[in-house]
């Protein structure tokens, strides 16, 4: 899975860095960002094959990042991470064009399955 480059975005720094490390053990290149603004800059500068976006973040949330990606015609599959009370936003995100959404804490194998599924369809 060396060809995959994934960007994981969540304001919980320990969470994203650990997920990234676990993905790297499995041969997936993973970068991290802890806010929407930084994530967008990273996506624009060097688009990854896949983006994992937390919906609830201080400042620019996951839905807004997704909207800006769509506005800039950045066709990158996005998985949204939802918490309690944001499942509806996950569904709203799918209507906007997100590939899928997962409830936090999500199972890593489940996330990898989604990444493989999305990248296969590219």
Partner 1 sequence: MREMNEKEIAFIGKITAGVTHEVNNVLASIREISGLMTDILSITDETSFPRKEKFQTSLQKIQNQVQRGVKLTSQLNKFSHLSDNNKTDVDVNEIIEHLIFLTERFTRIKNIALQIQPIDKSFTIITNPLLLQMAVFNCIAYLLNNMVNGGEISICPGKKGSECSVSIICKGELLDKTSIFKDSSSSEELLSVQSIMESLDGVYELDESNTAIIIIVPGNK
The residues binding partner 1 (CB under 8 A) are 12, 14-15, 18-19, 21-22, 25, 56, 83-85, 104-105, 108
Provide, rounded to whole angstroms, the least separation between the CB of residue 75 and partner 1. Answer: 29
Closest distance to partner 1 from the beta carbon of 83 (Å): 5
Place of tokens 């997920």: 19
Pick 56 or 74: Cβ nearer partner 1: 56
Question: 108-120 and 13-25 helices cross at what angle (nearest 10)?
Answer: 70
117: left (phi over 0), alpha (psi -120 to 50) or beta: alpha
Q: How far is the CB of 57 from partner 1 (least distance, A)?
A: 11
In degrees and rounded to multiples of 5, residue 78 shows phi and psi of -125, 135
Question: Of 66 and 111, which CB lies nearer to partner 1 in the complex structure?
Answer: 111
């Amino acid at each position: 899975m060396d060809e995959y480059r994934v960007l994981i975005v969540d304001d919980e720094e320990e969470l994203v860095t650990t997920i990234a490390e676990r993905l790297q053990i499995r041969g997936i290149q993973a970068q991290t960002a802890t806010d929407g603004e930084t994530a967008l800059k990273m996506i624009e500068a060097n688009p990854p094959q896949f983006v994992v976006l937390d919906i609830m973040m201080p400042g620019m949330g996951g839905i807004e990042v997704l909207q800006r990606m769509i506005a800039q015609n950045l066709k990158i599959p996005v998985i949204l991470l939802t918490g309690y009370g944001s499942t509806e936003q996950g569904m709203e995100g799918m209507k906007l064009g997100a590939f899928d959404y997962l409830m936090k804490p999500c199972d890593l194998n489940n996330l990898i399955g989604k990444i493989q599924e999305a990248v296969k369809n590219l």
